[in-house]
Chains A and B, each alone.
Chain A
Amino acid sequence: MQTVFSIAIDAFAYGMALFIICIGLSLTMGLMRVINLAHGAFAMIAGYIASYAQRELGTGYAVAILLAILGTIAISIPLERLLYRRIYGSPQLTQVLMTIGITFCVIGITNFFFGPTLKTIPLPAALSTPVDLGFRTVAGHRLFVMACGVIVAGGLWFLIEKTAFGIKLRATVDNAGMADALGIKTQVVYAISFAIAMGLAAFGGVVAAEFLPIEPYYALRYMVTFLVVVSVGGAGSIPGALLACLVLGAIDTTGRYLMPDFGNFFFYAAVIAIVCVFPRGFLGRAQ
């Protein structure tokens, strides 16, 4: 029983870490219909900024996160204007080509500036000490990641369901032409959504760095995982992404505990099964 709890906690933490990073991608793919394979690249940029801020500028963890988010959004805005705008509504393969190109460039450039070594983002003492839960100890940052995941999910739900911006966003997603005719500035909605998505990528990149360490190949290494998670959840659906992260996190963690030798088989077999049963992902909208 104790083991079951223990695995459940690990699975939940891992699932939440995935969720924080992937939810931004789910937004871009679901709302703006861009297969943004460079999503991980932005998370990686954020990781580098946070690492640099703490190690070179000596800022605290919270400030580093903030700088990372702002910095990443700042970098993403010109990219959105110059590159992404050209591929809204393009065939998906064109988007794949463009975003892979962006990923390659980001990797090459970070490699050049920051070198090929692993970068760490030091945790404050409060997060790095193990917390005793009675039956086992859990690293503080894992609890932190879980909390962040819950907050992000709740915050997004509130933003999309309860605010004026959320209404505009949903209208734009359902029918951009109609929304435009109703006087919603869809361009602005897109730009803000893109910024939110990038901000979430950045936040996830930093917070989940304990799971997915920051190094130049980050953007490619986890590209497939992110894409798979979002598709399984259903692009554009927050509860879907949450469900996908928790289910896949649980399968991954349990599989690796029960049969570490066949860990990957479990994961991808589960993906195939889920996609065959839910071709649009768990909670994806009809396309």
Chain B
Amino acid sequence: MQVIAKSRPVASPPKAAGHLVRDGAGLVLILAAGAAGYWLFPDNLALLTRVIAIALLVLSLDLLVGYCGVASLGQATLFGAGAYAAGMACLRGVTEPMTLIAIGAVAGACAGLVMGTIMLRAHGLAQLVLSIAIVQLAHEAANKASAYTGGSDGLAGFSPSPLFGTFEFDLWGRTAYLFGLGLLVLVFIALKFVVASPFGVLCRGIKEDPVRIRSMGAFVFPVLLKMFVISGAVAGMGGALAAISTQVVGLDSVSFELSANSLVMLVLGGLGSLYGALIGTVIFMGFEHVVSAINPFHWMTMVGALLIAVVLVAPGGLGGLVSRLRPRLRGRNGEQP
């Protein structure tokens, strides 16, 4: 039994031209939304930067859940690896932001390699439980290694040098936001290429039927492991961005809570299209921010109600609502021989 829905149509891989047009339009939309965020909420840029960092985490999770059918409740392990690596590097004198992002990506990728090696030994629920155990172990390890990570007090006291030598990561957070937005767009474009590559199609095949893929003569494990590494790199960049923009790394960045939240955001937005990951992150965090500012005492109830409502109204996630409005085409509905 697979953890992941078989029923939801993955974004259709249409004719090459339509493909480009659609992704181009999507990219323009993201940029427009990013710019709108910059102009409309100039006073909330730190929040928006945080949204971007988490969006990278959720994107990385979509690569695993949405494209490979590997469910994880431990994705924050990869995010945290990137965040701590960037923080520690910065504390030891590597302060150039681009380099820090690269360090985060490498650390995340390494963590992804380890995590994938363990998690891919199991399927379904057992896999989910492995991911939980891994993130808990990582959390403990980060807490224990307080000489390097600052433990529960957090890793603080580092400051990245200005971007390109001129733009400071300052109070208003313009640099951090634009830097993050640029990073997100670049990562998004790269991932669009990845999922459209032969490798991406192969992954989607594995998600639906690994037996079939094997009988086509392709190995499953190395392919999934490769996706774990890519996913780790993306999550690691998210973590590094968080570290650079906040200048603190806390234990929360390797927590089960963050992992669970990122999965909730992904399912909320819809799996397997990359857009869903962005939509889910923005809606969840925006909702949380607004509701908790209005009434901090009741935001949990509100968020809970939102999640229930989404399941009842839009089981495919909010991103899926759009495609549901188009003429519905029935696929194999969750059946699996």
Contacts and interface: CB of A to CB of B under 8 A. Distances in A.
Interface stretch (B134-142, B162-170, B235-243): B134-142
A102 B307 CA distance: 8
A139 interface: no
Contact of B5 (A29, A91, A104, A235): A91
Q: Is the interface of B mostly helix, strand, loop or mixed?
A: helix
B132 A227 contact: yes
A275 B130 contact: yes
Contact of A231 (B3, B129, B305, B307): B129
16 contacts: A89-B334, A92-B3, A92-B124, A96-B263, A97-B310, A100-B304, A101-B306, A101-B307, A101-B311, A104-B303, A104-B304, A112-B298, A231-B128, A264-B137, A279-B126, A287-B1
A79 B132 CA distance: 27
Given A268-B136, A272-B134, A281 B126 contact: yes
B307 to A, nearest CB: 3
Interface of A: 29, 35, 83, 86-87, 89-94, 96-98, 100-109, 111-112, 224, 227-228, 231-232, 235, 261-262, 264-265, 268-269, 271-272, 275-276, 279-281, 287
Given A94-B5, A227-B132, A271-B129, A265 B122 contact: no
A91 B133 contact: no
Interface residues of B, number: 50
Contacts of A87: 311
B311 A97 contact: yes
Contacts of B264: 96-97, 100
Which A-B residue pairs are the 3 nearest by beta carbons? Answer: A104-B304, A108-B301, A101-B307
B51 interface: no
B28 interface: no
A31 B298 CA distance: 34
Given A97-B268, A268-B134, A279-B122, 12 more contacts: A91-B4, A93-B267, A96-B264, A100-B307, A104-B304, A105-B300, A106-B304, A227-B132, A268-B133, A268-B137, A269-B137, A281-B126
Given A91-B7, A94-B315, A269-B137, A275 B129 contact: yes
Interface of B: 1, 3-8, 65, 71, 118, 121-126, 128-130, 132-134, 136-137, 140, 144, 256, 260, 263-264, 267-268, 271, 297-308, 310-312, 315, 334
Secondary structure of the A contact surface, majority rule: helix
A107 to B, nearest CB: 6
A111 B121 CA distance: 40
A273 to B, nearest CB: 10
Contact of B304 (A103, A112, A262): A103
Given A90-B315, A102-B308, A265-B140, A227 B129 contact: yes
Contacts of B256: 224
